[in-house]
Amino acid sequence: MSRRTRARGLATLLTLLLCWTLAANAQEDDVAAWPRQADADFGTIVFYQPQPESYADNVIEARAALSVTTKEQPQPVFGAVWLRARLATDLDERVVTLDQLQVTAAKFPDVSEEHVERLTRFMEEEIPQWDVTFSLDQLLTSLESIEGADAREAELKNDAPEILFVTRPTVLVLIDGDPILGELEDSDLDYVVNTAYYIVRDRGTKLYYLKGGAYWYAASDIMGSWTPTQQLPSSVAEIAKQIEEEEKKQAAEQEETPEPQEADASVPEIVVRTGDAELVLTEGEMEMAPIQGTQLLYVQNTETDILMDISTQQYFILVSGRWYTSNSLDSGNWTHVPPDQVPADFAKIPAESDMGQVLVSVAGTQEAQEALLENSIPQTAEIDRKTATVSVTYDGDPQFETCGDGVAYALNTDKSVLLIGGRYYCCDDAVWFVANGPDGPWQVADSVPPEVQNIPPECPVYNVRYVYIYDSTPEVVYVGYTPGYTGSYVYHGCVVYGTGWWYHPWYRHYYYPRPRTFGFRVHYNPVTGWGFSFGVSFGWLHIRVGRPWYGGWWGPRGYRHGYRHGYRRGYRHGYHRGARAGYRAGYKAGKRSAHANMYRNRSQGVKRTGAAHAAAQPRKQPRATGGKNNVYADRNGNVHRNQGGQWQQQGKGGSWSQAQNPSKSVQRDHSSRQRGNQRATQNRSTRARTGGGGRRR
C-alpha cells in the first residue's frame, strides 16, 4: 500500500540527501559521490542525488529517491522524500551546505510504520555528525529546469562607450571627468585627484608625469601626447623611490616576489580619456578567420571579441558583456544589440572553438543559462552581532540626495549610507548596519526596509539591492549577497557587467569615486567570473603615493581588485587564444574582479562564512557499494531509473518494469545530473591549472 506521510522526526534527513561532495577522481560516480549509504542494525538506507523543484530567496525545495533494505526485506524497496532548506555557500571553493533543514513529506510504498519510525530514530542520532558539503556545479545544473531560478532582470543603460582601435601596445588611462588637481604635500607637485593612476604636475614647468610599467612619461597637455622620459625633477624622482619602497612593502606583506620591472621591447603608448571609453588592441593589422559551421568571421589577433556577420557585413564587438554593432570599425557609430537579438549564427559557434567564450553572451545557450544560475547563488555568512562593526566618516557634514521612492543616500562618504524612514542604514562589505543618526552608533541590522528595492540603477548605491538578510538569532544574523552587489547583472537572458551609468564622484577635501562599467576590458570567465585588464604586456600601473584612493571604480569599498596602501597592480598578460570552451589563458582567470568574497575582507564579526561545517569532527558517509547514481523520483513520488539509456519504473515488491514515457522533468533531471558531473570535473581542472581558489577571492 502506497502512502505519503509527513514526519517531523525526519527533519535531519535533508542533510544526508543533499550531501553532494566533489571528489578528486574524474570518474562520473566518484565526482558525484552518489548514491550515499547509511547502515543501521535493522538494515541499509541508500539515498540518491536530490532533484530541486523550486529555488527562490535562497531557499531550495527538492525531492529525492531512496531505497531501504532490512533483514526481513532483503529486496530494496524504494520511496521518495520532499525537503526544504536554505543554502549556505562558499563560492571561493564552489561548495554549498544547508541551513534550517526540514523534510516536508515522504512516500514509502510497502514499508511498515515500524520501519519508518526506526529509520527516523537512526537519522536523528547519526546525521548531525556528517559532513554536509556538496558541489556548487552539481547544484547549478540541477537548477536549470526550474522556472525563475535564474537571477532577476535589471534595468540597465547600454549606450556605447567610445571605442578606440589601436595596433600597437597601448594603455588607456581614465580620468573621472575633467581633471581635478590637488596639492601633493611637502612638494612642488600637484596630483590628479580623480583618477586611479599616478599622474602629477610640476608647478614650475607645468609638465605632467605619469608612472607606468618600467617607464615614466611626460606631457605638456594631459589629454595630449605622452612620451617616455628619464629626465625627472627631483621631487618626482623622490616619489619614484617611495613607489618602489611601497611595492616591496606590499610584496613582503603578501609574501610575494615583486614582478620584474623590465622594459618592454616596444614602449606602450598612452591614451587619456575623461569619459566612458574602451580600448581594442590588435597585434598589427586586423586578421580575420572563419568560424566553422557559421557565416561568421572573427578577429584572431586581439583579446577583444570581435565578429563579422558575412551575410550583412556588420561588425559586432563584445564590451562588458554587451554587444555593439557597426558597419565599419572606423565609423565610431556603435549601436547596442540585446543578447537575445544577435544574429542566429552566434548560437551556432562551437563551444570548443576560439570564440566559444562568447556563447555566455548569447541568450538561450547552455553557457548563458549556466551564467544566469551562477548569478542567482548568494555568498553567505553568519555575522556576530556583538563584534561586527562599521565606521563611517564624511567629508564635512553628512549630505544626502534622494534616490528612489523613500530613499536618500549619502554623497560625501566612501560607504553606502541610506536614509529611510528616519533611520540610517549602512551596507559595508555586504553586511547591513542600522543607526538612529548618520554618525552611529551602528549595530548589525536584522532586517532591511523594503524601500531598498526602490533604488534605481542610475543611483550609485544601486548594488545594495543585492545584499540580503535571511534570518537572525540574538547572537548572529544570517546574511548573503548575489553577484549584483559586485556589478554582475542580468539583461535579456545573459549576464553583463556594470549598470552602464556614469556616476558623478564626490570631491571636496577627499575624492570618492563611483563604480565604472567601461574602460578596463571587462571579460567573463565561466569559472572565475568577471575580470579586468589594462594593457597588453604593460606590467605595473602605479597609483599615487599620498592621498588615499578609495577604489570605487571596481565595486564596493573594501574590494580593491588587488591593490593596497594607495596603489594598484595592473596585470601583465600577452595575446593568446586557444580552443578552451570558454577559458582564455590570456586573461589567466586569476585576477578576478566582480566576485570577491566580501566577508573575507572583514577583520572581525564574521562567525561563519559560506559552507564551513559547524560540527567539531564532521564524518563523511560512504558511497553506496556498487551503486549507480541513476535513480530518480518524479513529482508524484514514483521512482524511475535509467539503465544504459533505457527507462524503468519501480513497482510493488521492489520489481522494475519498462517505462515508455517517464516524465519530462525526470528526463531533464537525468540530463542535468550528467552535465553537473562533467562541469564539476572541468571546473576543478581549470582551477587547478590557474592556481585554484574558485570564483570569488
Question: Is the pLDDT confidence value at 426 over 80?
Answer: yes
Question: Is the pLDDT at 193 greater than 80, yes or no?
Answer: yes
Which among 503, 525, 492, 515 has a CA at the least distance from the CA of 595?
A: 525
Q: How far is it, in rounded angstroms, from Cα 637 to Cα 63?
A: 8
Give the total number of structural domains in the chain.
Answer: 3
Verify cis geometry, omega within 30 degrees of 0, for the bond prior to 74.
no
Contact in structure between 154 and 493 (CB atoms under 8 Å): no
User: Using an 8 Å Cβ cutoff, are 95 and 611 in contact?
Assistant: yes
Distance of CA 221 to the CA centre of its chain: 39
Q: Sorting pLDDT into bands at 50, 70 and 90, what band is 44?
A: confident
Looking at the domain assignment, is residue 476 inside a domain? Answer: yes
Same domain, residue pair 18 and 125:
yes
Alpha-carbon distance 376 to 295, whole Å?
Answer: 34
**Which of 464, 481, 498 is where one domain is finished?**
481
Contacts of 400 (CB under 8 A, 6+ apart): 408, 409, 410, 411, 419
Residues 182 and 126 in one domain: no
Residues 108 and 184 in one domain: no
The beta-strand segments (E) located in 175-239 are: 181-183, 189-192, 199-202, 208-212, 215-219, 227-229
Query: Do 549 and 443 fall into the same domain?
Result: no
Q: So what's the pLDDT on residue 124? A: 55
Q: What are phi and psi of 51, to 5 degrees?
A: -125, 105
In angstroms, rounded to a whole number, what is the distance separating the alpha carbons of residues 655 and 664?
23
**Per-state percent for the chain, helix, strand, coil, to nearest 5:** 20, 30, 50
Q: What's the average model confidence in pLDDT over 354-383?
A: 92
Give the pLDDT mean for 17-44: 54
The per-residue pLDDT of the chain, averaged, comes to: 77
Is residue 258 domain-resident?
Answer: yes
Q: Does the pLDDT at position 537 exceed 60?
A: no
| For residues 459-474, average pLDDT | 93
Whether residue 589 is predicted with pLDDT greater than 60 in this model: the reply is no
Give the CATH number of the domain where residue 21 resides. 3.15.10
pLDDT for position 391: 93
**Residue 656 DSSP SS3:** strand
pLDDT 10s digits, 206-255: 999 998 767 889 999 999 999 999 889 988 888 777 777 776 776 676 55
In this structure, the answer to whether residues 440 and 546 fall within a common structural domain is no
* Residue 393, in any domain of the structure: yes
Is 317 in a helix, a strand, or coil? Answer: strand
Residue 121 has pLDDT above 70, yes or no: no
pLDDT at 10: 40
Supply the pTM of this predicted model. 0.79
d(CA 190, CA 175): 15
Strand partners, 608: 382
Assigned domain for 674 exists: no
- Mean pLDDT on 422-444: 96
477 and 543 belong to one structural domain: no
Q: For 338-422, list the strands marked E by DSSP.
A: 379-384, 400-402, 408-410, 416-420
SS (H, E, C) 41-80: CCEEEEECCCEEEEEECCEEEEEEEEEEEECCCCCCEEEE
Is the model more confident about 568 or about 296? 296
Residues 129 and 184 both lie in one domain = no
Longest dimension (CA), the chain: 97
For the segment 75-100, what is each residue's pLDDT rounded down to a tens digit?
Answer: 787 888 888 888 888 877 788 877 77
Candidate from 171-185, 553-567, 614-628, 636-650 with smallest mean pLDDT: 553-567
pLDDT at residue 155 above 80? yes
Same-domain check for residues 114 and 8: yes
In a domain, 19, yes or no: yes
Residue 688 neighbours by CB under 8 Å, 6+ apart: none
Is 130's pLDDT higher than 70?
no
Residues 183 and 110 grouped into a single domain: no
What pLDDT does residue 343 have? Answer: 98
State whether 111 and 198 are in the same domain.
Answer: no
Say whether 138 sits in a helix, a strand or coil.
helix
In this structure, are 182 and 129 located in the same domain? Answer: no
Asked whether 418 and 424 are in contact (CB, 8 A), the reply is yes
Cell numbers found for residue 293 = 559551421
- In this prediction, residues 186-193 reach a mean pLDDT of 88
Residue 273 has pLDDT above 50, yes or no: yes
pLDDT tier, 25 (very low <50, low <70, confident <90, very high otherwise): very low
Residue 588 has pLDDT above 50, yes or no: no
Which of 433, 460, 481 corresponds to the end of one domain? 481
Confidence of residue 553 (pLDDT cuts 50, 70, 90): low
Q: Given this model, what pLDDT does residue 695 score? A: 36
Q: Specify which of 100-114, 185-199, 650-664 reaches the highest per-range mean pLDDT.
A: 185-199
- 173 lies in some domain: no
Could you tell me if 429 and 549 lie in one domain?
no
What's the confidence (pLDDT) of residue 320? 95
Instruction: Point out the domain boundary residue: 433, 456, 481.
Output: 481
Query: Which stretches within 336-394 are classed as H helix?
Result: 366-376
Give me the pLDDT at residue 697, please. Answer: 28
DSSP structure class, residue 445: -
Could you tell me if residue 564 is inside a domain? Answer: no
Does residue 582 carry a pLDDT above 50? Answer: no
Size (the chain), residues = 697
Query: Is 368 part of a structural domain of the chain?
Result: no
pLDDT band at 422; cut points 50, 70, 90: very high
Residue 367 has pLDDT above 60, yes or no: yes
Which structural domain range is residue 390 located in?
379-481
